[in-house]
């Protein structure tokens, strides 16, 4: 049984119900504008606007909501457009909480990927922490683009990171860019996820090419894309990059940049 406010016999069309606190265990329908300090109900329908400090409801239907805090399971627009006029701050730092982008987003009936991490390895950001290899390099002294590993840093060495506290999901997607630097002769670079090989590629240095970074040799391959999707549901995922190179990292090396992690 639902409760209804504002459309009884003799009610004024412009009447605005004002309450200090409103709590309904079932459905609440307001014909007009509702103003209160706090509102908690299972299902809210307002034929007008809502002004409230804190609102908690499993489903909200209204033309306009003005609130400091809105907690709801469903936000839906009849025009298929939700507009946020101002800054959107996503905070999943509280214990047991996930950010807005880590919740389920469905567009046109299709569940969307949620970006959780982007490690770009730039020195002025925090998007490099957690890797067991900390050495970073660039292509040329004037380059502002940093990557993990590189010339005289990573050859036979592997680099891994465990991404923890993943939200509930059934698929994992890992994207990255891998550089094959200097002299390669058919060796392979690879990526593992939770100990399983998910990507590998080989390179052979050309006789003539571009020397962009590292030693006085043409680069074998630069910025090779990695884009892998796999079934995954665990709370953590360990991503590892490496190669089959042997010998001096100043002769040949590998590097990785822009490691991006998605779930859905």
Strands 43-46, 27-30: pairing kind? parallel
The tens digit of pLDDT for each residue in 87-123 reads 666 555 543 444 454 456 666 677 788 899 999 998 8
Q: Which of 246, 230, 264 is nearest to 107 (CA)?
A: 264
The tens digit of pLDDT for each residue in 140-157 reads 666 678 999 999 999 999
Q: 10 falls in which pLDDT band (50, 70, 90)?
A: very low
Q: 224 falls in which pLDDT band (50, 70, 90)?
A: very high
Could you give all domains of the chain from N- to C-terminal order, each with its CATH number?
3-83 (no CATH), 114-263 (2.60.120.200)
DSSP state of 101: G
Higher pLDDT, 58 or 123: 123
Q: Which of 155, 148, 217 is nearest to 178 (CA)?
A: 148
> 100: helix, coil or strand?
helix
Find tokens 């014909």 and name the residue: 31
Average pLDDT value over all residues in the chain: 79
pTM for the whole thing?
Answer: 0.65
Contacts of residue 39, Cβ cutoff 8 Å, sequence gap at least 6? 21, 22, 23, 50, 52, 54, 55, 56, 57
């Amino acid at each position: 049984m639902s409760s209804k406010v504002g459309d009884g016999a003799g009610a004024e069309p412009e009447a605005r119900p004002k309450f200090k606190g409103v709590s309904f265990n079932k459905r609440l329908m307001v014909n007009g504008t509702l103003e209160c300090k706090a509102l908690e109900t299972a299902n809210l329908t307002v034929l007008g606007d809502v002004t409230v400090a804190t609102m908690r409801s499993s489903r909200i239907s209204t033309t306009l909501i003005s609130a400091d805090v809105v907690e709801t399971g469903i936000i839906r627009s009849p025009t298929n457009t939700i507009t946020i006029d101002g800054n959107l701050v996503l905070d999943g730092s509280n214990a047991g909480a996930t950010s807005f982008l880590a919740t389920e987003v469905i567009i046109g009936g299709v569940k969307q990927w949620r970006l959780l991490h982007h490690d770009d390895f730039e020195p002025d950001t925090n998007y490099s922490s957690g890797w067991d290899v900390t050495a970073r390099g660039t292509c040329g002294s004037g380059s502002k683009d940093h990557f993990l590993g590189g010339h005289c840093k990573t050859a036979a060495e592997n680099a891994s990171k465990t991404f923890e506290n993943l939200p509930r999901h059934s698929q994992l997607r890992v994207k990255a860019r891998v550089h094959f630097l200097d002299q390669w002769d058919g060796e392979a670079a690879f990526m593992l996820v939770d100990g399983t090989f998910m990507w590998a590629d080989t390179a052979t240095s050309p006789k003539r090419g571009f020397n962009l970074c590292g030693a006085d040799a043409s680069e074998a391959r630069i910025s090779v894309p990695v884009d892998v999707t796999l079934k995954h549901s665990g709370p953590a995922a360990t991503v590892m990059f490496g190669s089959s190179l042997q010998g001096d990292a100043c002769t040949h090396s590998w590097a990785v940049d822009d490691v991006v992690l998605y779930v859905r």
